[in-house]
Amino acid sequence: MPHRTVRVAAATIAALGLLTACSGGSGGSGGTSQTPAPAASSGAPSTGSGPKVPAPLPTQVLLNDPCNVLTAAEATEIGLASPGEKTTGSGLIGCQWTSSGSRQNFVGITPLPQNTGGIGDIYAQKARQAYFQPTAIDGYPGLFADTQDGRPSGTCTLWVGVTDQLAVSVIPAIGTGANKSNPCGIAEKFAAVMIKHLKGAA
């Protein structure tokens, strides 16, 4: 159990290293010690080169308590136990849900407020990625990308643009079961429910 949580946290930190590297933040050893105030929903132009969102989603819940982006019913709908568990690391706040079917399977999310170019910041790092596959989640820009390819072992990194200034990572870590061969499908399913929830909060 604990080793599985460590694995998810490590995958998250590795993936988030992509964005902290391109943010030009303080220090050269990974995360930032403080999280700047987000520019979400400000209407300011994105500095990145990725696709723009059709309409900015409310981000207060994501930034203040990401575990509230799913209700208990929504978590059950996609096979996750509720409530999620708050996670912290590198000055970031995220949330992790355990599968209701196996304690070896998790999905974690982390918003990246310090990267004010949103999903464009990931597009700017395309050359560094082991995989790079644009997608769309309910009309919102998404991108499967990571500097290491953990998909064969059940881990996939999906970035979702919720405003032009804020991207969210969705990272399943599937250790057992049929979904281990399709972690990116789990990421997409989670992101679709998250987007629907945020639209309802608009």
- Eight-state DSSP code of residue 155: B
For the beta sheet containing 131-137, the strands, ordered from the edge strand earlier in sequence to the opposite edge, are: 85-89, 92-98, 105-111, 166-174, 158-163, 140-146, 131-137
Residue 34 falls within a domain, yes or no?
no
Residue 31 falls within a domain, yes or no?
no
CB 160 within 8 A of CB 187: no
Nearest Cα neighbor of 48 from 174, 187, 161, 194 is 161
- How many domains does the chain divide into? 1
Residue 147 falls within a domain, yes or no?
yes
pLDDT in tens, the chain (202 residues): 344 444 444 455 455 555 444 433 323 222 222 222 223 333 333 445 789 999 999 999 999 999 999 999 999 999 999 999 999 988 899 999 999 999 999 999 999 998 899 999 999 999 999 999 999 999 999 999 999 999 999 999 999 999 999 999 999 999 999 899 999 999 999 999 999 999 987 6
Residue 29 falls within a domain, yes or no?
no
The per-residue DSSP string of 172-191 comes to EEE-SSGGGG-HHHHHHHHH
CB atoms within 10 A of CB 24: 8
Using CB atoms within 10 A of its CB, is residue 128 exposed (0-12), middle (13-18) or buried (19+)? middle
Q: pTM of the predicted model, to two decimals?
A: 0.80
Q: Which domain holds residue 132?
A: 2-24+39-201
Residue 197 falls within a domain, yes or no?
yes
Residue 196 falls within a domain, yes or no?
yes
Residue 158 falls within a domain, yes or no?
yes
pLDDT at res. 91:
85
Calculate the CA 149 to chain-centre distance: 16
**C-alpha triplet 154, 158, 161: angle, nearest 5°:** 170
Residue 12 falls within a domain, yes or no?
yes
